[in-house]
Amino acid sequence: MKKVYIKEDVCIGCGLCEVYCRLKHSRSKDLVKAYKKETPRPLSRLRVDESGIVSLSVRCQHCDDAPCIGACLTGALSRDPSTSLVNVDEERCIGCGTCTLACPLGVPKLDTAQKKMVKCDLCQDEEIPVCVANCPNEALLYADAPEESPAANKQAATTVQ
């Protein structure tokens, strides 16, 4: 599967990834409306963490061990076997936040208005995710993941085969 890679050394923390993500998840697809008029407010599925000169555009990594899936109280989170993506069934999500507590990146975001969790689906209806497509500094890359990703190594540490 393809994943989004972060090149934090060239990320300038401009936040355009967040802007385009929010726009993508708006109903109006209009930037001003998305930010100022729409209720419930569309939420960005990613966030930019900054500290000093370091900035990181963080989103769901669809980890191999995905602790959120096991933590989910309702079964709303699952891995799609065809795409390997970790998906949330918004019908069954109650927005409790257990996944937020379980995620090492803290990325599951609660839409408090809708009482649902929202997360990145790597823009399944786009050729490449809008955050990557609109990153002005090529700090985000969309590329095939190697067979063993770091998350898988972490799992291997706990599962001695």
Partner 1 sequence: MVATRKIKYLIIGNSAGGIGAAEAIREVDKAGAITIVSDEPYPAYSRPLISEYLAQPYPVEKMAYRKPDFYEKNRIKTLLGEKVIQVDPDKHTVKLASGTTLAWRRLLLATGGTPILPEMEGDRLKGVFTFNRLDDAKAIDGFLNQYRSKVRAVVIGGGLIGVSVTEALVRRGADVTIVEMKDWILNTILDEEAADFEVQALAQTGTNIITGHTAEKINSYLPGEVCGVTLDDGRVLPCQMAVIAIGVQPRLEVVSESGIKINRGIVVDRRMATSAPDIYACGDAAEAYDFVYGKNRLTPVWPNAYEGGRVAGLNMAGKSAKYQGGTAMNALKYFGINIVSAGLVTPPDDSYETLINRYNGIYRKVIIKNGKLAGLVFAGDIEKSGIVYNLMKDGVDVSGFKEVLIADDFGLASLPDLVWRDWLVGAPPEGVTVVTSIEEPEELVIGD
Query: Is residue 144 at the binding interface for partner 1, with CB under 8 A as the rule?
Result: yes
Rounded CA-CA distance 46/21 in Å is 7
Given 98, 116, 118, 122, the residue binding partner 1 (CB under 8 A): 98
Query: Is residue 60 at the binding interface for partner 1, with CB under 8 A as the rule?
Result: no
Query: Is residue 143 at the binding interface for partner 1, with CB under 8 A as the rule?
Result: yes
| Least distance in angstroms from the C-beta of 36 to partner 1 | 22
CB count in 10 Å sphere of residue 124 = 10
Query: Is residue 17 at the binding interface for partner 1, with CB under 8 A as the rule?
Result: no
| Least distance in angstroms from the C-beta of 87 to partner 1 | 13
Q: Which residues of 80-116 are buried (b: 16+ CB within 10 A; e: fewer)?
A: eeeeebbbbeeeebebbebbbebbeeebbbbbeeeeb
Rounded CA-CA distance 39/88 in Å is 21
Nearer of residues 28 and 74 to partner 1, judged by Cβ: 74
Residue written as tokens 């355009």? 16
Query: Is residue 160 at the binding interface for partner 1, with CB under 8 A as the rule?
Result: yes
Rounded CA-CA distance 84/133 in Å is 22
Please report, as ranges, the residues that interact with partner 1 according to CB under 8 A: 2-7, 47, 49-52, 54-56, 58, 61, 67, 70-71, 73-75, 91-92, 94-110, 112, 115, 127-128, 132-136, 138, 140-146, 149-151, 154, 158-161
